Amino acid sequence: MKQSINQGSRTGRMSGFTRSFTSLLLLLLLTGVSINQAQAQVDEYTTPSWWFGGAVGGNINFYRGSTYKLNNSLTPPVVFKDGLGLGLYAAPSVSYYKPNSLFGFIFEFGYDSRKGTFAEQLTDCDCPANLSTKLNYLVIEPSLRLAPFRSSFYLFAGPRFAFNWNHSFKYQLEVNPAFPAQAPTALVEGDFSDVAASLISMQFGAGIDIPLTAAEKRTQLVLAPFVSVHPYFGQNPRNIETWNITTVRVGAALKFGVGSSKIEKVKEEQAKEVEKELLPMVVPNNIRLAVNAPANIPVERRANETFPLRNYVFFDLASTEIPERYVLLKKNEVKTFKTERLEVMEPKREAGRSNRQLDVYYNILNILGDRMQENPKTNVRLVGSSEKGAADGKLMAESIKTYLVEVWGIKADRIATEGRTKPVVASEQAGGTSELVRLREGDRRVTIETNSPELLMEFRSGGDAPLKPVVMNVVQQAPAESFVSFVVTDPDKQLNTWSFEVKDDKGAVQKYGPYTQTTVTVPGKTLMGARPAGRFLITMTGVRKVGADVKADTSVQMVQWTPDVNEQVIRYSVIYEFNTSEAIKAYDDYLSNVVVKKIPTNGRVFINGYSDNIGDAEYNRQLSLERAKDVERIMKKALKAEGRNDVTFVVEGHGEESGAMPFDNKYPEERFYNRTVLIDILPAKK
């Protein structure tokens, strides 16, 4: 009989709760409709999209299931079933939803109390036993916000991630009421055992936004009462027994947001319409051409360059043989090869920023063989990637292994081979449709992987880590700081493309373009040749989106400058994978502990970013600038840690500008090396 009465009372409580919850939802709904109708008349400021504030509420916690063992030291003589309690919820709140939109989101992170008291139980001696607990959590509650009527009334639902930080209890065994003279048992306080450190459950509910400030205020306040349900799914506090919790939360969030003037917005839209109507009549002089012609460097400047050695060997499509452009020695030539003598060797081809630097890369297999001979404990893995499949990729890897074994005499068991369909870091992505041939050329390669530090670049590890760089003393031609920049100012965005001509005093004309970006740089030596000085006429021609073409002229005096012949440049490079600037994180230690250490007092650092010519030119220019800025940020951070602020930085992104790219773009290895940031370190100006 007692059990049936408890069951009936529980059903009654739940039915009452259901009716109350339904009534509250209807009240919120009706309030939302009326508020939305009132807000329709507001037109001074737009309703903000981002809202910041805090939420406070009360948790009504319904305990169900049972718990018996409290911890390893205490197991009461009865099983505790069901219970009820109130707890506090408090959290910062961030919301995003556009006015009259259907969807948005809510994010809250805060304190959540699930404390409560179990129903009193009678022991065999008719002594009442009481148990209460304080369950406290830190919770993360992201929610999807749905406004079904595009009004202030909204529904929300999402997961709940809870992290327990308090699970204490109080247990009291009372005396038998029939024997009041008995001494009471002492109150026992402790912590539950077998408590789950974290829980993943769910929540759903409804709320209403009630404005607290008039629309003529730019900063707007909103009070948002809400009610939510956290069902028992996933809410078992302990890893043992069946105790679970269902929670109803009732509370409110106070939020603020910043709106924008509707009047100003209307004016902007009207101005855009007027601009469209007057565009064909815009005065051409609204477009400007500016030319920056810094001092050029006509003579040789020596650069001590740490040239990165990319750990890829690229193969021609449909071939598993090492391409002829790579330098392959005969067995009797191996003994005369030395990596440190590459700078004085006759180059195999004319290419890139000097005649020799890409030729260093084409000796990659000889450099690898030379270093493996010097370090007999080193090992490598050759991973071939082929669009024809893993078997074809392994044949590519085996061709390199054969060369290292038969020509360089490296033991076969030091070289492992593997085949793949795609490299780990692939250029061609699923769903891509543009320039697939050149992307696949970049993916058809053998990657040289090693865990031997003697073969790897300092502070780098992993399958795609570059090999140990080659240090060279080379001639630097047309350094970036001597480039002439051409800048077109087009505030009304009238131009589709623009090009320019450079005419000297003898009538010789050089033509460049067309371009879509606003800035183009050209090496000064390309424009001036060997002239010590001269005045040049620059004529820009712009193709407008609407109306006739426009022209702008300017005259520029260029003067050659001869630097100190003893000036020595130290150059480092950072190379990237396709279409990313995030690779710089892997170079953090290298830049901080190797490159920065080489900067002299009051030194100058020129950081120039580049890209290959795959994709949109303006996107590539921005990507190259992001790469250069990432390098600058890391170097400045390292200098600051050393207490230095004496270094001058110049940072530029050149993208795929013709004449500025370090290498050509005919072969995949040239494109891979063009995805780079060059760091030139110069001494202080005299």
pLDDT in tens, 227-285: 999 999 999 999 999 999 999 999 999 999 988 765 555 445 544 443 433 333 333 55
Question: Would you state the pLDDT for residue 293?
Answer: 65
Q: Which amino acid is at 87?
A: G
Can you tell me whether residue 181 is helix, strand or coil?
coil
- Considering the chain, tell me which residue range(s) the CATH 3.30.1330.60 domain(s) occupy: 307-469, 570-682
589 or 294, which is more confident? 589
Q: Which amino acid is at 464?
A: D
461 or 423, which is more confident? 423
Query: Which single residue is written with the structure tokens 């001269």?
Result: 534
| C-alpha distances out from residue 164 to 112, 134, 135, 301, 391, Å | 10, 11, 8, 65, 52
State mean pLDDT over 356-376: 88
- Under 8 Å between Cβ of 543 and 552: no
Tokens of 124: 């065999």
- Under 8 Å between Cβ of 192 and 237: yes
List the Cα angle 662/314/436 in 5-degree steps. Answer: 85
510 or 246, which is more confident? 246
- Considering the chain, tell me which residue range(s) the CATH 2.60.40.10 domain(s) occupy: 288-299+478-559
Grade residue 673 by pLDDT with cuts at 50, 70 and 90: confident
State the first-to-last Cα distance of the chain, in angstroms, to the nearest integer. Answer: 102
- Under 8 Å between Cβ of 396 and 389: no
Looking at the predicted structure, is the pLDDT value of residue 568 above 80? no
> Does 514 sit behind a cis peptide bond, omega within 30 degrees of 0 on the bond before it?
yes
Phi, psi angles (nearest 5°) of residue 513: 110, -175
- Phi-psi region at 294: left, alpha or beta (left = phi > 0; alpha = psi -120 to 50): beta
Q: State the CB neighbour count (10 A cutoff) for residue 261.
A: 14
Phi, psi angles (nearest 5°) of residue 253: -115, 135
Looking at the predicted structure, is the pLDDT value of residue 654 above 70? yes
Tokens of 176: 């038998």
- Phi-psi region at 134: left, alpha or beta (left = phi > 0; alpha = psi -120 to 50): beta
Looking at the predicted structure, is the pLDDT value of residue 438 above 60? yes
> Does 323 sit behind a cis peptide bond, omega within 30 degrees of 0 on the bond before it?
no
Nearest CA-CA partner of 467 in 551, 541, 369, 559: 369
Q: Which amino acid is at 88?
A: L
Nearest CA-CA partner of 572 in 523, 608, 612: 608
Task: Identify the top-confidence range among 45-59, 286-300, 397-411, 502-516.
Answer: 397-411
Query: Which single residue is written with the structure tokens 């279409």?
Result: 579
Question: Would you state the pLDDT for residue 271?
Answer: 42
Query: Which single residue is written with the structure tokens 């009047």?
Result: 263
Tokens of 28: 């919120």
How many residues in total does the chain contain? Answer: 686
Phi, psi angles (nearest 5°) of residue 65: 85, -155
Lowest mean pLDDT among 34-38, 408-412, 586-590: 34-38
Q: State the CB neighbour count (10 A cutoff) for residue 398.
A: 17
Lowest mean pLDDT among 190-204, 325-339, 465-479, 546-560: 465-479
Q: Give dist(CA 485, CA 656) in Å, integer.
A: 14
- Under 8 Å between Cβ of 238 and 169: no
Tokens of 532: 């010590």
577 or 437, which is more confident? 437
Tokens of 187: 């109150």
- Of the chain, the percentage scoring pLDDT greater than 70 comes to 78
Q: State the CB neighbour count (10 A cutoff) for residue 656.
A: 24
Question: Would you state the pLDDT for residue 163?
Answer: 97
β partners of residue 89: 57, 112
Question: Would you state the pLDDT for residue 496?
Answer: 83
Question: Would you state the pLDDT for residue 215?
Answer: 65
If you average pLDDT over every residue of the chain, what do you get?
81
Q: Give dist(CA 104, CA 96) in Å, integer.
A: 5
| C-alpha distances out from residue 118 to 5, 131, 634, Å | 17, 6, 58
CATH 3.40.50.1820 fits 288-299+478-559, yes or no: no
Long-range (24+ apart) CB contacts under 8 A made by 270-278 are: 275/492
Q: The domain 307-469 is classified under which CATH number: 2.40.40.20, 3.40.50.300, 3.30.1330.60, 3.60.110.10?
A: 3.30.1330.60
Give the CA radius of gyration of the chain: 36
* Dihedral sign for Cα atoms in the order 53, 56, 57, 59: positive
What beta strand segments (E) does 192-294 contain?
A: 198-208, 210-211, 219-230, 244-258, 288-292
Distance from CA of residue 66 to its chain's centroid? 47
Taking only the tens place, the pLDDT of each residue in 518-555 is 777 776 777 777 676 778 888 888 888 887 888 877 77
Burial label for 272, CB within 10 Å (0-12, 13-18, 19+), is exposed
Question: Would you state the pLDDT for residue 638?
Answer: 94
Question: Would you state the pLDDT for residue 512?
Answer: 81
Q: Give dist(CA 658, CA 671) in Å, integer.
A: 13
For 570-682, give the CATH class: alpha beta
Tokens of 141: 């509650």
Q: Residues 23-45, buried b or exposed e (16+ Cβ, 10 A)?
A: ebeeebbebbeebbeebeebeeb
Grade residue 487 by pLDDT with cuts at 50, 70 and 90: confident
Taking only the tens place, the pLDDT of each residue in 308-345 is 888 999 999 889 999 998 989 999 888 888 876 675 45
Question: Would you state the pLDDT for residue 44?
Answer: 57
Question: Would you state the pLDDT for residue 349?
Answer: 46
What beta strand segments (E) does 390-466 contain?
A: 415-420, 445-449
Can you tell me whether residue 323 is helix, strand or coil?
coil
Which H or E run includes 5? Answer: helix 2-39
Tokens of 177: 């009421």
- Of the chain, the percentage scoring pLDDT greater than 90 comes to 44
Looking at the predicted structure, is the pLDDT value of residue 288 above 80? no
Distance from CA of residue 673 to its chain's centroid? 23
Looking at the predicted structure, is the pLDDT value of residue 182 above 70? yes
Grade residue 348 by pLDDT with cuts at 50, 70 and 90: very low
Q: Give dist(CA 541, CA 219) in Å, integer.
A: 48
| C-alpha distances out from residue 157 to 233, 617, 627, Å | 14, 44, 40
Question: Would you state the pLDDT for residue 533?
Answer: 72
Grade residue 11 by pLDDT with cuts at 50, 70 and 90: very low
| C-alpha distances out from residue 172 to 64, 155, 188, 587, Å | 20, 42, 6, 62
Question: Would you state the pLDDT for residue 299?
Answer: 44
Read off the pTM: 0.48
Q: Give dist(CA 483, CA 650) in Å, integer.
A: 13
Looking at the predicted structure, is the pLDDT value of residue 410 above 70? yes
DSSP secondary structure of 602-643: T-EEEEEE---SSS-HHHHHHHHHHHHHHHHHHHHHHHHHTT
Taking only the tens place, the pLDDT of each residue in 614-641 is 878 888 888 888 889 999 999 999 999 9
Can you tell me whether residue 511 is helix, strand or coil?
strand
